[in-house]
Structure 1
Amino acid sequence: MNGNKSMKTTYCPLCGKEHQPRKVERDAATTIKDVAVTYRETVFVCEHSDEETNEYETASLTNRNLLAARDAYRERMHLLTSSEIAALRKKYGLTQAELAKVLGWGEVTVTRYETKAIQDEAHDGLLRIIRDNPMELNRFLDRNKKALGEIRFGELKNRIAQVMEEQGNAALRRQAVQSAYLPFHEPSYANGNTSFDERKFTASVNYLASHVEYLYKTRLMKMLWYADSLAYRDHGKAITGAVYRHMPMGALPVAYNELLALDGIEVKEEEQEDGSTRYLISPGNERTWEILNKDERAALDEVISKFKYFSAQNIVEHMHRERAYLETSPGEIISFEYAHHLNWD
């Protein structure tokens, strides 16, 4: 996909002038350690150059492209990507140098893994262990306490304890969702011929939140229903596998509160003057989108295009005119067969 994002004029090394180059994103291929990989690269294009080659990269773009290629290799080889390493470090509130010290590595090792170098399997395995098990990181922290100092040691011990509590709560939320969706495990009209997929649900929420400004819970839930319904109508399968009920404000997925509390979904509570609370969904990590295929993104894009500027009340009123709402009773599961009768024109 080509991008034309607005940017400041800059010196162009091809034509020697100050102007606004065109920024292009595209698929590229390379070989790393005898493994062929494809990745997304970004280049600048000079529209004024008479040279045969009118593309160029800045130093920062070159580094970015190299990192994208190396991350593609890591994904092929089932290694943590640079952003996943950064995420696990930030989860514990560690700097790059601190994480290296805690694990007994060279001080710049983590910095290199997050910017250019590819970790070996042994280091990758250790990073995965501490990502998933805070107690293991706690053990390393105790072992290398002197490398951090008394005050910082205490701060990190507290943060690890906090992460352990958060992970325990997250596990309970996941169990609640799994329990709620157990009766709908088999593909059916209730779930859009798709068993519930937590990763695709999270990805869909983050995708919508990243493309719709001020996305609150009511509007989000309706947009998810429409996206799942469009995907089912056009391809025979919903995106998320969520099961929706007829509720006063329109379609709501089963266990919607627990769904919004899942890891990877950012929700901010906003107290209103009348004492009520609104829930603002913030954009999450773009990497979660990668699990969505092009047809699923197309359904989400179509929903965004139609409802991006609708208020919550507008989209609720639109939902209330759907056959899916008019022909079902309060609390009833909404069959995805109604997707063939969407009010979409």
Structure 2
Amino acid sequence: MTMIKYCDQCGGETVFSVAEREENYDIRGERIRVVTKVWRCQGCGLELFDDELTGPALKEAYNEYRRRKNIPAPEDIKELRGKFGLSLRSFAKLLGWGYVTLHRYENGALPSEAHAAVLAALKANPSYAFGLLETTKRNFEKDEMDGLLKRIDALTRECNHPSKIRHEEKCEANVFTGFVPFSVEKFRDMVLWFSSMEAPLLKTKLLKLLWYADFLHFKRHGVGISGAVYVHLPLGPVPDNFTFLLGELEWEHKIKIEPVPVGDYLAERIIPVAERGSSLSEDELRTLKDVLKQFQGWGSRRISSYSHEEKAYLSTGQGEEISYEYAVDLSID
């Protein structure tokens, strides 16, 4: 491809042809090297840049940055929103972001790494949305919330996420289960014990008590109690797919989950319905008692903030599974 253009160096019109050259782009401190196209004078070699020729290279540089940082492309964000059946405004409400911010991302703006991590976690595991709703549920009317919960539950079951497999006890014990297979009985009895010993017990606090109990037991004995996998969510470490797990207990009439007003929003409290079973050993019960003693009288907000300072939380990103190896640095003994 050639074109006649004026060349300042030759002092007249000459033939220019398209040539390739390597170019470095600096994107948020990251150097990206790509091949771009320029007009090159066939007489002296002078190069002229043209937006139509360099545009694809700039786009490729941004795409490479997205790949390196696991940042979704605009079409990926739109596709993710479509899976939840949400309008742009409703999706922004779920994420807790501004409408304009999400609109910009869907139209090509580069998301921050923090926002990208949330989107990546949501794409990998739809049940991550349950954790988001813990902080953004006040943005929704009841009917809207009910519909969203059903959609999230359906997506979670469709994707057959490993947390569902773990719930069915088909996962080998590993560092993310505390080196014990997941036990429905132990998880159930931990929930029943905590909810019977402290009333009212809000769901947010229960989830933190479960995490501290499993990790403290691992710190003391080298194994967890329930075999639950815990993930990093906005309100702190929580059992993976906790809404599914607690929902199963409610469906089986082991617990009752009851809405309760807290300030200007509705929280949920856990009410034991069934008697606790005998699956927990004396050592495991001792761990539960010590955890409850440590956090007796603490509110959900206080224990959540406290858990944010644990190394296990500080060293992981949104939606990531938390290795039990972090138990050695747990703030309680």
Which category describes the TM-score, using the shorter chain as reference length? 0.3 to 0.5
Q: Which has the higher contact order (CA 8 A, sep 6+)?
A: 2
Q: Which has the larger radius of gyration?
A: 2
Q: TM-score w.r.t. structure 1 length?
A: 0.46
